[in-house]
Amino acid sequence: MAGKVTFCAFVLVLLSTLAAAISPSARSSTVARRAALENGLGRTPQMGWNSWNHFHRNINEEIIRQIADAMVDTGLAKLGYEYINIDDYGAAYDRDSQLSKWQHNHICRGNLAANASTFPSGVTALADYVHGKGLKLGIYSDAGTRTCGKLMPGSLGYEDQDVKTFASWGIDYLKYDNCNNQGISPQPRYDAMSKALLNSGRNIFFSLCEWGVDDPATWAGGVGNSWRTTGDIKDTWASMTAIADKNDKWASYAGPGGWNDPDMLEVGNGGMTTEEYRSHFSLWALMKAPLLIGCDIHSMSNETKEILSNRNVIAVNQDGLGVQGHKVQQDGEQEVWACPLTGGRFAVVLWNRGSAQASITASWWSIGLNASTVVDAHDLGQMRLYQPCKENWRKQWILMLARCMC
C-alpha cells in the first residue's frame, strides 16, 4: 500500500477536516462532563513548574527566584507556563508560637511559617518577586498531621487557618498531599480544604495529590481543579508509560475546570532519551494533563527547551474543547490515541510499543471521523505536512513506525 514511511516509535499528528466530517459519537463525547469546582480556575490544564522532580528537598528562595527569572528569560512564560510551585520542605518544622482562635473544637497552635534557613526573606517577599515577573506562586501542604517528608506540619484540622495564611502570603496554587492522614477517608479531608479555599477571598488553584487511592476522578470534580490519578512518576520510560496507561482509565472525567493529573513532567532530568522525552511531553499534552515542568529550567539544554517550547503541542493541551485524549485503538503493541479539538480537528498519537518495525493503521471510525473524510495531517513534532494519498487517507491512515531509542 502506498505512502508508508518509517518514523520513531511515537508520533503526534494533527488532523484537520470539516466539522461536518465528525461522527455523531465524537460530538456527544465532548459534552459528557460533570460539575466542576466553581472557582473560575483551570479552564485549561495548568502550566508551570514544580520543584520536586529535580530539586527534591534541596530548595531555597534563591533557586525559586532563578526559576522565575528563567521562566521569563527563556520565553516559557509567554507560552503559558505561569505557576512557580514550591513542593515539600519549604516551611518550618513547627508552627509559630502564637495561639490562634478556637477551631474544630480545639485551640490551634500557631500559623505555618517559612523555613527561616532556606527562605529567610519569607514567603510574602518571594510571592511579590514572582508576581513582579508576571507569574504566580504555588505552595505545598498535606491533608495529614505532617507532610510526606515529615519536616513540615500538615493542614489536617487547620484548613481554615492555613488557607488564611496562604492568602495573606499571596499564594495562587496549592498542591495538597496525602501522607500521615490518620486513616481518615480522602474525600472529607480534601473537601474541607476545598471549602476553606473557596472562602479565603483569594482565587487559589487546588491540586489534589491523593495518588489515585480512592479514585478521585469519580468525586473530585467539584472539589479541586486537578487530581492525581497515579503514584509518583520516575524519570524512566517504563514509569512514564505505565502511568499514562493508568491515567487513561479516567479520561471521561476530565474537562474544563478539573483535570486528571498523572504527575509532573520529567522532561530534561536525564533519565530518558530526547525522543522519549518528546514522546512524554506529547502524550501529556494529548491527555490534557497538567504541564508542570520538573527540571532545572535555569540550566536546561537546548533540546529540553525545544521540547517544552513546542507551541503546536502546547496548543493541543490547551485546546478550548477540553477533551482528554485516550486510547481508541489497539492491535497488539500498536496503539492509536486520539482526541477531538476545536475547529473540526483531531490530535492523534500513533504509538508502536514493540521492539520491531510495525505498520499502524488509524481507522477513521475509531478516531471519530466519518468514513468518507479526507484530512490534512501535520506532524506536530517535526511540523511537516504529510501528503495525502487517496487510497490511504480515506477511511484510514497508515504509517510505518520503528521502535527506536534515539
CA angle 84, 167, 199 (to 5 degrees): 120
The separation between CA 26 and the C-alpha centre of its own chain, rounded to angstroms, equals 24
- Closest alpha carbon to 45 in 16, 81, 76: 81
Instruction: Give the burial string for 226-261 (b: 16+ CB within 10 Å, else e).
Output: bbbbbeebbbebebbbbbbeebbebbebbbbbbbbb
263 closest CA partner among 128, 241, 271: 241
Q: Is 96 a catalytic residue?
A: no
Per annotation, catalytic residue among 214, 232, 376, 379: 232
Residue indicated by cell numbers 511559617: 113
Catalytic residue among 87, 160, 172, 177: 177
Report how far residue 99's alpha carbon sits from residue 244's, in angstroms, rounded to the nearest whole number.
45
The alpha carbon of 379 is separated from its chain's Cα centroid by a whole number of angstroms, namely 22
Cβ partners under 8 Å of residue 306, min gap 6? none
Q: Which residue has the cell 487547620?
A: 158
331 is catalytic: no
As annotated, the active-site residues are 177, 232
